[in-house]
A = this chain, B = another copy of it.
C-alpha cells in the first residue's frame, strides 16, 4: 500500500472517518474475514486508531451504507461483516443512473442482448415449482385489464416474470444485471405511467411469448428459448417505443 503522503492533488485528502473505513475494509480483506465475523468494538477501535467515538461511529456508518457491515446492540453485539444484499446493491447502483436519464431504447438495447442468453442457459434447468410460479405470474395477464390500476398491475407482473427468471440464473453477474435492468424498467414505466394509454397488443403478444417461452424452457430446448426471447424483446421494444413516444407527446403536444 502506498504511503498516505503520495496522494495526488485531485483527490482531496480523506477525512478521518473515511481513513478508518478504508483501513477496516482493508483489514477485512487481508484477514479473510467472512460474513458474520465480528469487528473490534467501538472502544477498541477508539484505542486502536486513537480517535474519538464520534469519528469511529461515522466510519461504521460509511461501511454500513455500503452494505458491508451491520451492527447490533447489547451483549454479544458489535459490528459484523455482512454480505451485500441484492436489494441494497440495486439501490446503490440505481443512484448512479438518477441524473443520467435513461431511455426505453437504452434499456431494451441491454435486454435484447442479455435476456435471450439467460433463456438459453435456463432451458431444462428449472425445477417444477419454479415453472409453476412462472405460470402463475403469466396467468395474471392472460386476459385484458378492466381498469387502469389492473393495467398497471399487469405491466408490473409481466416484468416480474423476467425478474423471477433472472433469479434462477446460476451466473450471479448475469442474474444481477438482468434483475437490475428489469427493476430500472419497472421504475421508468411506473414513474412515467407508460402503462397508459392501455396497449392491448403489448399485453396479448407479451403473454403469448411468455407461454411459448415456458414451453421451450420446460422442454429443455435452449435454441428455441433463445429465439422466442429474442423475438419477444424485439417486439416489446417496438411496442414500448410507441408507448414512450405517446408519453412524450403528453408533454410535447405538437
Contacts and interface: CB of A to CB of B under 8 A. Distances in A.
Nearest to A71: B15
Interface of A: 17, 21, 34-35, 54, 57-58, 61-68, 83-84, 86, 88-89, 92-93, 95-100, 102, 105-107, 109-110, 112-114, 116-117, 121, 171-174, 176-177, 181, 184
Contacts of A35: 99
Given A102-B172, A177-B177, A117 B121 contact: no
Given A96-B86, A172-B100, A173-B97, A65 B61 contact: yes
Copies in the complex: 2
Contacts of A57: 54, 58
Nearest to A101: B172
With a 10 A CB-CB cut-off, give which of A62, A65, A113, A177 has the most chain B CB atoms. Answer: A65
Given A92-B92, A93-B93, A173 B66 contact: no
B84 A66 contact: no
A117 B121 CA distance: 19
A83 B93 CA distance: 12
Given A93-B93, A106-B174, 20 more contacts: A35-B99, A54-B54, A58-B61, A61-B61, A63-B65, A65-B66, A68-B95, A83-B99, A84-B95, A84-B98, A92-B92, A97-B172, A97-B173, A102-B172, A105-B171, A107-B173, A109-B121, A109-B174, A112-B117, A173-B181
Nearest to A96: B89
Nearest to A28: B98
Contact of A106 (B83, B93, B96, B171): B171
